[in-house]
Amino acid sequence: MGVLKRYRDLLPIDDKTPDVNLEEGSTPLIEFKRIGAELGIKLFGKFEGCNPSGSFKDRGMVLAVAKALEEGKKALICASTGNTSASAAAYAAHMGVPCFVLLPAGKVAMGKLAQALMYGATVIAVNGNFDKALELARAASQGENSILAMVNSVNKYRLIGQRTGAWEICETLGNAPDWHAIPVGNAGNISAYWAGYNEYLKLNKINKLPRMMGFQAEGAAPLVTNQPCPNPETVATAIRIGNPVSAHLARAAVQESQGEFNSVTDDEILAAQKILAARGGVFAEPASCAPLAGLIKLKNQNKLPSGITVTMVLTGNGLKDSNTALASLEADNKAKPIEIGDTQEELMAVLNSKL
Ligand code: F0G
């Protein structure tokens, strides 16, 4: 069941709202017992890579697109580090409306680019970073009579739809976690999750709130340094953002929840990505692994309380950026299969060397 149907009573929709549905949401909340035991916590990952376009963006996009069509908009536009564009393009294709996506040239993972092109969006590569592309898309869609719906997270419906992730976690766990660990780029998702948890507290569906722990990449960490970052750089291209639009909301979420922002290096992110895959069985994209990298770092600094329940949002599927994964395995000399001839002996020699 898609999120508009599952959460109909909690979302701003009625009979006039077009029925948009790619069966998004209801993603698995996976317990990572091996990794959790090493960290001394109960560790869960909400695997948002299972959404139809492979990232959490679908939860908000479905509502943003439904409301845009309800309001009579004729086309979608967004700037994106990749996932928003894949999601917008997918829903546009499904509903038969044109979609324009602005991407920072050369800085988008290949899988995401392939998705936007396959879904049939008009893809425009901007020779500038995400922050610049967002400025251009915003200006293009301004004016009350614009037929373009801007579907970045500045669109309020995106963040409302993304609250559903928090609701699903609460329903699965029976309460909120102690810590909610999440990567932060444009800062919309952390704000949406915080709003979602608060709404469920008000509705008495949970009886506590989590500490919101936001993780950024060291080369793109304006919320950690408290300064805009004019030239963001990180291997986690999804969160390569220097001037987050929802910074004020994210700061409030962290402050009100007595949480923290922390940064992690690209090496720490790539190491965490391998741990999640090789000891957890989930392949998530680099940005999604910033929270695990951060938890490992906090554990090493003796700042991770033992025995707590932590949920991480694994925001996007690792298959979107297999080039980065293979390059990181290359460094360990593990990026290639073991090639053999066609004999049983050769196969047995490999099996025996590994068992
Ligand atoms: N993780 C992934 C995989 C993302 O794609 C993004 C954002 C984030 C985390 C950060 O979420 O921006 O709400 O703080 N991607 C956007 C995009 C910017 O264009 O796809 P945020």
Which range is least confidently modeled, 156-160, 170-174, 328-332? 328-332
Q: Is the CB of 188 under 6 A from ligand 1?
A: yes
pLDDT bucket at 143, cuts 50 / 70 / 90? confident
Q: Is the CB of 165 under 6 A from ligand 1?
A: no
Give distance in angstroms: CA of 340 to centre of ligand 1.
41
Q: Which of 168, 208, 216 is nearest to 192 (CA)?
A: 168
Whether residue 139 is predicted with pLDDT greater than 90 in this model: the reply is yes
Q: Cβ(236)–Cβ(287) under 8 Å? A: yes
Q: How many residues does the chain have?
A: 355
Mean pLDDT of 2-22: 98
Q: What is the pLDDT of residues 186-224, one digit of tens each?
A: 999 999 999 999 999 999 999 999 999 999 999 999 999
Q: Is the CB of 287 under 6 A from ligand 1?
A: yes
Q: What percent of the chain has pLDDT over 90?
A: 97
Q: What is the DSSP letter of 310?
A: E
Q: How crowded is residue 52: how many other Cβ atoms within 10 Å of its Cβ?
A: 19
Q: Is the CB of 239 under 6 A from ligand 1?
A: yes
**What pLDDT shows up at residue 145?**
87
Q: What is the pLDDT of residues 28-80, one digit of tens each?
A: 999 999 999 999 999 999 999 999 999 999 999 999 999 999 999 999 999 99
Contacts of residue 348, Cβ cutoff 8 Å, sequence gap at least 6 = none
Q: Are strands 42-47 and 179-183 parallel, antiparallel or unpaired?
A: unpaired
Task: Return the percent helix, strand and coil in the chain, to nearest 5.
Answer: 45, 15, 35
Whether residue 329 is predicted with pLDDT greater than 90 in this model: the reply is yes
**What pLDDT shows up at residue 144?**
81
**What pLDDT shows up at residue 151?**
97
pLDDT bucket at 248, cuts 50 / 70 / 90? very high
Strand order in the sheet with 122-126: 122-126, 99-104, 75-79, 148-150
Q: Which of 91, 72, 73 is nearest to 23 (CA)?
A: 91
Mean pLDDT of 94-100: 98
Q: Is the CB of 187 under 6 A from ligand 1?
A: yes
**Average pLDDT of the residues of the chain:** 97
Which domains, ranges and CATH numbers included, belong to the chain? 3-55+156-330 (3.40.50.1100), 57-150 (3.40.50.1100)
Give distance in angstroms: CA of 346 to centre of ligand 1.
45
Q: Is the CB of 183 under 6 A from ligand 1?
A: yes
- Residues 113-139 as b/e (b if ≥16 CB within 10 A, e otherwise) read bebbeebebebbebeebbbbbbeebbe
